[in-house]
A and B are shown apart, each in its own frame.
Chain A
Amino acid sequence: MKPKLNFEWLHACSGCEISMLNWGEQLLDLFDQVEIVHFPLLMDHKYGGQLGEGAPLSLPEADIGLVSGGVAHQEHLQVLQEMRKQCRTLIALGTCATHGGIPAMRNQWSTADTLHTVFTAGTVDKEISPSSAPAFLDRVYSIDEKVRVDVSLPGCPPQPQLIGAVIKALVNKDAFQLPQKSVCETCPTIREGKKKMAPVQRFLHNADYDRDQPVSEMQCLLEQGLVCMGPVTAGGCGGKDTPLCLQARVPCRGCYGPVQPGGNQLLDMMNALASNGIDHRALVDRKSLLRFSGAHGLLKPARKKN
Chain B
Amino acid sequence: MNREQKIIAFCCNWCSYAAADLAGISRLQYPASIRIIRVMCSGMVHPEMVMHALAQGAAGVMIIGCHLGECHYIKGNEMALARAEVITDTLEDLGYASEQFQLTWVSSAEPERLVEAFRNMCGRLAVLQSEQSADHIM
Contact = CB atoms under 8 A, between A and B. Distances in A.
Q: Do A and B come from one complex?
A: yes
Contact of B94 (A271, A281, A298): A298
Interface in B81-125: 82-83, 85-86, 89-90, 92-97
Contacts of B46: 271
Contacts of A286: 89-90, 93
A146 interface: no
B132 to A, nearest CB: 8
B95 A300 contact: yes
Contact of A264 (B48, B85, B95): B48
Contact of B95 (A270, A277, A281, A303): A303
Given A286-B93, A302-B92, A303-B95, A270 B82 contact: no
A275 B90 contact: no
A280 interface: yes
B95 A274 contact: no
Contact of B47 (A271, A298, A302, A303): A271
- Looking at A270, A277, A299, the one whose CB has the most chain B CB atoms below 10 A away is A270
B90 A300 contact: no
Contacts of B85: 274, 280
Contacts, number: 58
A301 B135 CA distance: 15
Contacts of A274: 82-83, 85-86
Contacts of B55: 297
Contacts of A302: 92-93, 95
Contact of A301 (B51, B95, B97): B95
B82 A267 contact: no
Given A275-B79, A297-B55, A306-B131, A266 B90 contact: yes
Given A263-B48, A275-B82, A277-B82, A270 B90 contact: yes
B92 A303 contact: yes
Given A274-B83, A274-B85, A280-B86, A267 B51 contact: yes
Contact of B90 (A263, A267, A303, A304): A267
Interface in A261-304: 263-264, 266-268, 270-271, 273-275, 277, 280-281, 286-287, 297-304
A286 B85 CA distance: 14
B89 A270 contact: yes
Contacts of A270: 47, 86, 89-90
Nearest to B84: A274
A180 B93 CA distance: 28
Nearest to A277: B82
5 contacts: A264-B51, A268-B47, A271-B83, A273-B86, A301-B95
Given A275-B83, A297-B55, 17 more contacts: A264-B48, A264-B94, A267-B51, A267-B94, A268-B48, A270-B89, A271-B47, A271-B86, A273-B86, A274-B82, A280-B86, A286-B93, A298-B94, A302-B92, A302-B95, A303-B92, A303-B96
